[in-house]
């Protein structure tokens, strides 16, 4: 399941993020890649030692985790700080699946949900689509600056080669209370119906049944 979240970052926040990224030091993105990914990864990332990371993480993660689409789509148990990636002409990231376990010793987490927040608008670069392979074929994602997309970390995906301009993104992950992506999708869709019924028919018996089903499925499937 792919979930797009529009306008995670407003114009002022996005402008500030871009200003901070402009002065931040970048390094070869392969330094953070796993054994397979480093063979197909060709981008740059803000250095993990950069002083700018604290401000970037506050600017990006605060609005992201506050969005109900994120909370209900990811059902996060643990949330990772983002990587900030830059793609210039000739750069790409070939087919790969995100590492199943990430983080430093003592701070490990399982990657269940991958999130990309677009920091450059589609008019600023050519190519650079996030291409996610799904059961319905390839989905090519290239969203407006400030928008985000969530998808299962188990998905085979790539970033197409950038042929003009500069692609800036923040990429992060979540360990979900519900590791199975099919169950997360079912819960997400059921919750959409549940919230609609709670707004439109809060006293209806059908509303109570749907609410009880959602709550008890969460109880059944959540790992905390």
The number of folded domains in the chain is 2
Distance (Å) of CA 162 to CA 45, 101, 109, 128, 147: 15, 28, 31, 5, 19
pLDDT for the residue numbered 59: 98
Whether residue 9 is found in the same domain as residue 117: yes
Closest CA to 114 of 149, 75, 82, 153: 153
Q: Is 169 in the same domain as 209?
A: no
Q: What is the DSSP letter of 94?
A: E
Alpha carbon distance 47, 53 (integer Å):
9
Whether residue 170 sits in one domain with residue 98: yes
52 and 122 co-located in one domain: yes
Residue count of the chain: 224
Q: What are phi and psi of 176, to 5 degrees?
A: -90, 150
Instruction: Please tell me whether residues 84 and 161 are part of one structural domain.
Output: yes
Token look-up 């995670």 returns 8
- Least Cα distance to 147 among 48, 69, 47, 37 occurs for 69
For residues 87 and 195, state if they share a domain: no
Digit-by-digit pLDDT tens for the chain (224 residues) are 999 999 999 999 999 999 999 999 999 999 887 767 788 999 999 999 999 999 999 999 999 999 999 999 999 999 999 999 999 999 999 999 999 999 988 889 999 999 999 999 999 999 999 999 988 899 999 999 999 999 999 999 999 999 999 999 999 999 999 999 999 999 999 999 999 999 999 999 999 999 999 999 999 999 98
The rounded distance, in Å, linking the Cα atoms of 224 and 175 is 11
* Full residue range of the structural domain in which residue 140 is found: 3-176
Together in a domain, 208 and 138: no
pLDDT recorded at residue 31? 86
| pTM flag (> 0.85) | yes
Same domain for 123 and 210, yes or no, is no
pLDDT given at position 38: 80
Pair (74, 157) in one structural domain: yes
Q: Work out the angle at residue 65's Cα, subtended by the Cα atoms of residues 10 and 73, and round it to the nearest 5 degrees.
A: 110
State residue 218's pLDDT score: 98
- Residue 63 CA to residue 58 CA, distance in Å, equals 9
Tell which residue, 67, 64, 57, 18, has the closest CA to residue 168: 18
Residue 98 dihedral angles phi and psi, to the nearest 5°:
-60, 145
Structural contact between residues 151 and 132, judged by C-beta atoms closer than 8 angstroms:
yes
Residue 180 CA neighbour count, 13 Å, CB half: 10
The verdict on 150 and 164 lying in the same domain is: yes
Tokens 């079912």 correspond to what residue? Answer: 186
Both structure tokens of 201 = 């028919």
């Amino acid at each position: 399941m792919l979930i797009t979240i529009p306008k995670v970052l407003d114009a002022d926040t996005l402008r500030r993020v871009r200003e901070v990224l402009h002065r931040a030091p970048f390094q070869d993105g392969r330094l953070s890649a796993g054994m397979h990914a480093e063979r197909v990864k060709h981008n740059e990332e803000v250095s993990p030692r950069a002083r700018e990371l604290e401000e970037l993480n506050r600017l990006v993660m605060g609005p992201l985790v506050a969005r109900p689409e994120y909370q209900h789509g990811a059902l996060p148990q643990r949330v990772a700080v983002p990587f900030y990636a830059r793609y210039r002409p000739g750069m790409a990231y070939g087919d790969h699946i995100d590492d199943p376990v990430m983080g430093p010793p003592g701070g490990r987490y399982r990657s269940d949900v991958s999130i990309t927040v677009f920091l450059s608008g589609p008019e600023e670069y050519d190519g650079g689509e996030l291409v996610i392979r799904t059961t319905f074929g390839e989905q090519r994602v290239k969203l407006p600056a400030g928008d985000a997309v969530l998808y299962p970390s188990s998905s085979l995906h790539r970033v197409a080669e950038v042929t003009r301009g500069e692609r800036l993104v923040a990429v992060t992950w979540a360990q979900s209370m519900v590791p199975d992506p099919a169950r997360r999708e079912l819960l997400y869709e059921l919750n959409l119906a549940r919230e609609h019924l709670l707004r439109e028919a809060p006293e209806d018996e059908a509303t109570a049944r749907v609410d009880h089903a959602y709550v008890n499925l969460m109880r059944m499937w959540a790992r905390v």
